[in-house]
Amino acid sequence: MIDPANVPEVTAEEVLAHFIYQSSHIRASDGSVKPNAFLPPANLLCSVTRHLDATEHELWSVGDQIAAQRGATLHGRADIVAESCTKQRLAVRKQPVKDNPNHANICDWPTDKAEQKSIAQLLAADATLVRRIQ
């Protein structure tokens, strides 16, 4: 994981993990990510974890911790390159939190729901679903 005392800004080429806690956010037919997975919550901050300096084990551990806090099931993660977000006029900003210095937010979402859905479709198309190998 990133050194909590020295968290760099997010770069365009970084891979971000957006954890998926709803099975309905994954297409059963082809295992792709549905756009609803990327719709921002009411605060317009879509939470992600940066891959930077993180092992696969560390990434999954973060997802598992969040699942436990929510009382939810971790179904996978949608991996996406930060540049896919910035191409849609969104920003990806570092936002370290306790136990996850790699945390960041996809922000600057429009407030219009139709615009959010349109952007979410493009992000989902660029994302790769990663399921944990048991």
What percent of the chain stands above pLDDT 70? 99
Look at residue 8 and tell me if it is in a domain.
Answer: no
Look at residue 4 and tell me if it is in a domain.
Answer: no
Look at residue 31 and tell me if it is in a domain.
Answer: yes
Range of the domain at 104: 15-130
Beta-carbon contacts of 124 under 8 Å, excluding residues fewer than 6 positions away, are 32, 33, 34, 35, 37, 38, 78
Other beta carbons within 10 angstroms of residue 134's beta carbon come to 3
Pairing between β-strand 103-107 and β-strand 46-50 as defined by DSSP bridges: antiparallel
Positive or negative, the Cα torsion across 95, 113, 65, 19? negative
pLDDT averaged over every residue in the chain: 96
As a whole number, mean pLDDT of residues 18-37 equals 96
Look at residue 42 and tell me if it is in a domain.
Answer: yes
Look at residue 5 and tell me if it is in a domain.
Answer: no
Look at residue 3 and tell me if it is in a domain.
Answer: no
Look at residue 37 and tell me if it is in a domain.
Answer: yes
Domain count, the chain: 1
pLDDT value at residue 134: 57
Look at residue 9 and tell me if it is in a domain.
Answer: no
Separation between Cα atoms, residue 50 and residue 75, nearest integer Å = 18
As a whole number, mean pLDDT of residues 62-81 equals 97
Q: Where does residue 127 rank: exposed (0-12), middle (13-18), buried (19+ CB within 10 A)? A: buried
pLDDT interval class at 133 (50, 70, 90): confident
What's phi and psi for 17, nearest 5 deg?
Answer: -110, 120
